[in-house]
Structure 1
Amino acid sequence: MTTTEAEELAAVRTLLTAIADENGELPEPWASAIATVRRHEFLPRVLWQWDGDRYVRIDAEEQPTQWRATAYANTSVVTQVNDGKPVEDGEKVFPSSSASAPAIVARMLGILNARRGERVLEVGAGTGWNAALMAHVVGPQNVTTVEVDAEAAGQAAVSLERLAPGARVVVGDGLLGAPAGAPYDRIVVTCSLNHVPEALLEQTRPGGTILTPWSRPWCNYGLLHLTVRDDGSAQGRFHPYADFMPARGQRLDLRIFRDVVADHHQPTESRTSVAPDAVAGDEDFAAQFALALCLPDLWFAWHENPAVEGVVRRLWVATVDTTSWAAIDEMEDGGDMFTVWQHGPRRLWGEVEAAWAWYTAHGRPGPGRFGMTIDADGTHQPWLDSPGTPL
């Protein structure tokens, strides 16, 4: 065994231990898949990582040790920025594609529970590693992966041809699925969806399953695991802990001062005892997830030090159609009452207060108590505990 091979084996063992520490012992056949299908083989030469202030490059040729450590760390890593366009000096960098943390990859594969011989469709090929892991278990000829970004798809196809020959890469909008290979026993989505497209329901055989990260404008969190029924509808429950980039066709690009608030707006003033941090704070994503299901077309943004006397932080809430907004102020002197400013046909903070009251009255349920029914016509209905208690 060469030094490089020994280092790779040690890195894989360390990664498997980290996955087990987070998820519990990784069951077969997925442990063997991760041990065999090496993550670094699918990553691009240049990675990007957040350093607390900005995204910085990690180049495999210039920083080989750091690049290798990043490849086998149990964290997500950005594999593409700015939708693949060249980054000029001083230009703002935003992530547009990433390789998910291995622990969440392993957990999703365990939930998906694909078995040898089953046909699997993946929406979002990314680097191709996830497709290769599934190919190791179900057989490469049974894996189809769709990628909207042609450059990323090309790189994934090269890696899969070398390491999982027979897996099929399709360039296109994954929200349309890949009808040529349908029906599928399992569909797994590696970007977050705010609704499940009818095409994916139609391309899943009755009794088959769809697993997707979930998002709403209020919160990007949770995994939805659906079983498709004979009539084309689907039903299933949520699992906690997932944060994926949104599907490109479902991105929400809104900014408070560019798109929502105008100089001529004359807001009304009121007071509230519901703390902004309770409904939109970073420490309680379970609360954000529940409110997101209750408030499907609302989003929020924080404004630190808004240059308003006595105000240290302001929470903005707005509708996705930008017609209504609310601003809630946290004051220097603290206190348990907060000033609310609202504009537009809807009283948004009243809607948030009602959702918060419902959430607390039901014992602050976590994501695992929620589920979703999707009718054959595409109507989505979330529920708590059982389909008989819709939100």
Structure 2
Amino acid sequence: MSERQQAEAGRVRLASALSASGALTSEWVEAYQAVPRDWFVPDLIWPGRADGVRQEESAHRLADPARWWEAVYSDIPLTTQWDDGEHTGNGRGTTPTSSNSMPTMVFSMLAALNPQDGHRVLEIGTGTGWNAALLSHQVGDGNVVTVEVDQESAAAAKYRLAQAKCAPRIVVGDGAKGCPDGAPFDRVIATCSVRRVPYEWVAQARPGAVIVVPWAPEYGGEAVVRLTVGEDGTASGRFVGSSAFMRLRRQRAERPNSLAYLSGPWPADGVRSTTTLSPEDVGGWLAMFAVGARVPDAFPLVERYADGSYTLWLHDTAVTSWSTVDWEPGRTSYEVVQSGPRSLWDEVAAAHYWWRDQGHPGFERFGLTVTPEGETVWLDSPAT
């Protein structure tokens, strides 16, 4: 099969799958066809999986074209950069820092954004340029501003966009600052996740504007929230579905090693107890999101052992408190050690039981309100 045939077959196959799942709606079919994904994928990629897990092996368009084309037209994310471009080999780096997002996520977020003719759109995170191209086709080049922090990524995206005859405005800079001289915007979309929605995005949006952004609490879990900007300068709305994006560079966290929390040999000054709540019950993506909404400034780390058991470490960002819970197969009671002014396991357990008592609500029952002073997560209603 020629490269052209591979491209055409792949585009049809992926379009069919996305349409069947409801991700690709009729409003976006023309854009999908006008700016195909393969135009915006570099020769060297690291294919992921639909569950967000990244594979170890790279795929190169010239060395293994069949695998490259299969990956490009599969509903999976494609890592395109590691370690902010410092890692340049064919092997997997330490931290993925740019990608061509999973098509289902791309079109689901664009559907939530729902840009209309004439709308001015601000995109945070140009990446490979595909999302900017889709937006440009939908609302016109002159109405799209896309901000990319990485200069090399921005240059590569600009070249691909020009090849596709798309010419949105590309700004190289800190996406957290938005683009003040392009405001006001009718739509804002982020292709990176945040722990806090930069208020600049709200301030640069018109009343009635929509902001679509992947949001995650400190503890973990993540979902896309759709905010509507009010006349009072606040923005509020519900979460619309699970997500897993790379973090906005300014909001990346450097996590201290567990040893930084210990005041002496194990168990230091920790107080021992037991719990019947399994660490497994608080380790799912949705469970972590629900716990994180109620447990501020705390995060988990997992230390795994050869026999399949593990220790769940809980740390606070102020480096004052820590907890551990030891999980072993077949156990119904688990050893807990806690130290510091915050009893972190007790906080996590209380949040989990609250979530259980509410009926284990999914992402769609949660919402977020952003104000100049900060933000608040709510359940069912902003009043809750």
TM-score tier, shorter chain, comes to over 0.9
Partner Cα distance (1:368, 1:40) in 2: 32
Partner of 1:277: 280
SS in 1 for 2:309: strand
1:78-157 pair list within 5 angstroms:
78-87=79-88, 92-157=93-158
1:25 deviates by 6.2
1:373 deviates by 1.3
1:113-164 CA-to-partner distances (Å, cap 9, x unmatched) read 0012110000000000000001111111111100000000011111112214
Partner of 1:302: 302
Partner of 1:365: 361
Structure 1 length-normalised TM: 0.91
Partner of 1:16: 15
1:51-70 pair list within 5 angstroms:
55-70=56-71
1:204-219 pair list within 5 angstroms:
204-219=205-220
1:12 deviates by 0.7
Partner of 2:261: 260
Q: What letter is aligned with 2:63?
A: E
Partner Cα distance (2:373, 2:238) in 1: 17
Match among 305, 312, 315 for residue 315 of structure 1:
312
Contact 1:287 1:366 in 2 (8 A): no
Q: What letter is aligned with 2:325?
A: I
Partner Cα distance (2:351, 2:23) in 1: 37
Contact 1:161 1:167 in 2 (8 A): no
The percentage of counterpart residues that share the same residue type is: 36
Match among 370, 381, 388 for residue 383 of structure 2:
388
- 1:28 equivalent in alignment to 2:26: yes
Q: CA 1:258–1:100 in 2, change beyond 3 Å: closer, same or farther?
A: farther
Partner of 1:196: 197
Q: What letter is aligned with 1:215?
A: A
Partner Cα distance (1:8, 1:25) in 2: 21
Match among 358, 362, 374 for residue 379 of structure 1:
374
1:285-340 CA-to-partner distances (Å, cap 9, x unmatched) read 22221111111311111111289xxx9221111112222110001135x3321110
* Structure 2, unpaired ranges of 5+: none
1:247 deviates by 0.7
Partner Cα distance (1:53, 1:221) in 2: 17
Contact 1:371 1:387 in 2 (8 A): yes
Contact 2:7 2:38 in 1 (8 A): no
Q: CA 1:262–1:36 in 2, change beyond 3 Å: closer, same or farther?
A: farther
1:224-272 CA-to-partner distances (Å, cap 9, x unmatched) read 1111111211111111221101111111221433543454532110111
Q: CA RMSD in A?
A: 2.2
SS in 2 for 1:134: helix
Q: Which deviates more from structure 2 when the two are superposed, residues 162-171 or residues 43-52?
A: 43-52
1:50 deviates by 5.6
Contact 2:367 2:379 in 1 (8 A): yes
Number of aligned residue pairs: 379
Q: What letter is aligned with 2:300?
A: F
Q: CA 1:312–1:6 in 2, change beyond 3 Å: closer, same or farther?
A: closer
Partner Cα distance (2:137, 2:54) in 1: 38
Contact 1:214 1:224 in 2 (8 A): yes
Q: What letter is aligned with 1:203?
A: Q
Partner Cα distance (1:139, 1:95) in 2: 31
Contact 1:55 1:93 in 2 (8 A): no
Structure 2 length-normalised TM: 0.93
Partner Cα distance (2:225, 2:133) in 1: 22
Contact 1:125 1:146 in 2 (8 A): yes
SS in 2 for 1:219: coil
Match among 318, 324, 328 for residue 327 of structure 1:
324
SS in 2 for 1:321: coil
Contact 2:82 2:92 in 1 (8 A): no
Partner Cα distance (2:187, 2:294) in 1: 28
Contact 2:122 2:146 in 1 (8 A): yes
Q: Which deviates more from structure 2 when the two are superposed, residues 180-189 or residues 216-225?
A: 216-225
Q: CA 1:218–1:89 in 2, change beyond 3 Å: closer, same or farther?
A: same
Q: CA 1:88–1:103 in 2, change beyond 3 Å: closer, same or farther?
A: closer
* Structure 1, unpaired ranges of 5+: none
1:21 deviates by 3.6
Contact 2:137 2:166 in 1 (8 A): no
Partner Cα distance (1:18, 1:355) in 2: 38
Partner of 2:36: 38
1:5 deviates by 3.2
1:379 deviates by 1.6
